[in-house]
Amino acid sequence: MSSPLAAEAAHPEGLRAVMRRHAAGVAVITTRDGGPVGFCATSLASVSLEPPTVSFGVALGSTSGRAWRGAAHGIVHLLRSDQAAVASAFAVSGPEKFAGPVGWRWGPGGLPLLDGVLAWMLVSTRTRLVVGDHLLVVADVRETAVEPGGGPLVHHDGRFLTPDQGSTRPARMA
Amino acid sequence: MSSPLAAEAAHPEGLRAVMRRHAAGVAVITTRDGGPVGFCATSLASVSLEPPTVSFGVALGSTSGRAWRGAAHGIVHLLRSDQAAVASAFAVSGPEKFAGPVGWRWGPGGLPLLDGVLAWMLVSTRTRLVVGDHLLVVADVRETAVEPGGGPLVHHDGRFLTPDQGSTRPARMA
């Protein structure tokens, strides 16, 4: 093959290497399954504007994965650049994450709502798809809330970055 | 509702406002539909590691949306921080994007392969899902290629950012 980059047949570590080069905003997605359940996601994407719809992936073997096999609703929180400790707390297993570095309350829909985030969305499951080791959830957005200030936490190459301190240039993308 | 942020019922502009606060790496996804076809995506996400699988959304009414209703294969390119002009070229409609600021060749699978990217993946469509105004494509990763140097182009708040110049701190996320 005449590519300028050496290509190799895909395997899990190959995808991991590619996605380490990618950058992603960081979300914490909560639901209720008896008690509060939540996980840190770098897979949040907007799918459709009309109707407003998002998607995210959750590991099937995790507590959140088990919850999302049946969950009808959740709250998607976008983390602020100063919330790396929150992301780390929700990236590991265990119930202690809700006793960790972020305050929360029972919010709309009887769901865990985290304090101090950039923005959040109350979502309702539209479709679930098992894809390999993950559940892909497509969800309708029911309510939105946006905090005017602050910048996003970004995950790249195994680290958190604060892009509001990076260089910027105007873009034509919507 | 006792949220610290004022919430409102969801509508397209509300989702747009939330996602402007989000950050995303920037991909150009190409396929062949007669000639070369490509678009700029901020919705690329890793779905499953075993097997390696990704997802992305494409507007149904676009040239790429029409192509991806039937496309079996494509190439997902992650853009470098110095490729904002490439992102802008592929974010608008029209065939002139392949005569624009980036070189390309017919690559693996007979698909358009862009020069100078951070990483690319040859993918095969696994599932398509129409969700509102977009097609959500879930695709198996067949080949991967990663360039060792450079940082990612990031889209946030209508602008492109270069996060490798931002502040960083260690993270525990995988």
Q: Please answer yes or no on whether A156 and B156 come within 8 Å at the CB atom.
A: no
CA distances from B145 to A5, A171, B116, B120, B121 (A): 6, 27, 12, 5, 6
If contacts are CB pairs under 8 Å, which of residues 6-25 in chain B contact chain A? 6-12, 14-19, 21-25
- Residue A164 contacts B where some CB pair is shorter than 8 Å: yes
Residue A109 has pLDDT above 60, yes or no: yes
- Residue A2 contacts B where some CB pair is shorter than 8 Å: yes
Residue A24's beta-bridge partner residues? Answer: A155, B24
The CATH class, in words, for B25-170 is mainly beta
What average pLDDT does this structure show over A27-47?
97
Chain B contact set for A108 (CB, 8 A): 1, 3, 7
The answer to whether A143 and A108 are in contact (CB under 8 A) is: yes
Residue whose C-alpha is closest to residue A161's, from B153, B11, B147, B7: B153
Residue whose C-alpha is closest to residue B135's, from B78, B66, B61, B60: B60
Residue A149 has pLDDT above 80, yes or no: yes
The whole-angstrom distance between B161's CA and the closest CA on chain A is 5
Q: Distance (Å, rounded) from C-alpha B106 to C-alpha B115?
A: 11
DSSP letter for each residue of A137-169: EEEEEEEEEE-SS--B-EEETTEEEEGGGSEEE
Amino acid (one-letter) located at B5? L
Residue A119's beta-bridge partner residues? Answer: A78, A146
Residue whose C-alpha is closest to residue B23's, from B43, B53, B46: B43
Of A131, A133, A169, the CB nearest to B138: A131
Q: Distance (Å, rounded) from C-alpha B22 to C-alpha B40?
A: 17
Q: In this predicted model, what pLDDT tens digit does every residue of A2-32 receive, in sequence order?
A: 345 678 898 999 999 999 999 999 999 999 9
Residue B172 has pLDDT above 80, yes or no: no
Q: Please answer yes or no on whether A52 and B14 come within 8 Å at the CB atom.
A: yes
The neighbour count for residue A31, using CB atoms within 10 Å, is 24
Give the pLDDT confidence score for residue A119 in this predicted structure: 97
Amino acid (one-letter) located at A61? G
CA atoms within 13 A on the CB side of A40: 26
Give the pLDDT confidence score for residue A86 in this predicted structure: 95
Q: Distance (Å, rounded) from C-alpha A37 to C-alpha A110?
A: 12
Q: In this predicted model, what pLDDT tens digit does every residue of A154-168 receive, in sequence order?
A: 999 988 876 554 433
Q: Which residue of A has its CA nearest to B117?
A: A5
Residue A124 has pLDDT above 90, yes or no: yes
Name the CA dihedral angle for A134, B125, A138, A17, rounded to a multiple of 10 degrees.
Answer: 50
Give the pLDDT confidence score for residue B11 in this predicted structure: 92
Give the pLDDT confidence score for residue A4 in this predicted structure: 52
Give the pLDDT confidence score for residue B132 in this predicted structure: 96
Q: Please answer yes or no on whether A5 and B50 come within 8 Å at the CB atom.
A: no
Of B52, B126, B161, the CB nearest to A15: B52
Give the pLDDT confidence score for residue A65 in this predicted structure: 97
Each domain of chain B, given as residue ranges in start order, spans 25-170
Query: Per-residue confidence at B29, pLDDT binned at 50, 70, 90?
Result: very high
Residue A64's beta-bridge partner residues? Answer: none
Chain B contact set for A11 (CB, 8 A): 52
Residue whose C-alpha is closest to residue A78's, from A147, A141, A137, A138: A147
If contacts are CB pairs under 8 Å, which of residues 102-131 in chain B contact chain A? 105, 107-108, 113, 115-122, 126-127, 129, 131
Q: Which of B1, B13, B15, B77 to mutate to test the interface with A (most CBs of A within 10 A)?
A: B15
Neighbouring residues of B43: CB distance < 8 A, sequence distance ≥ 6: A45, A46, A47, A55, B24, B55, B56, B57
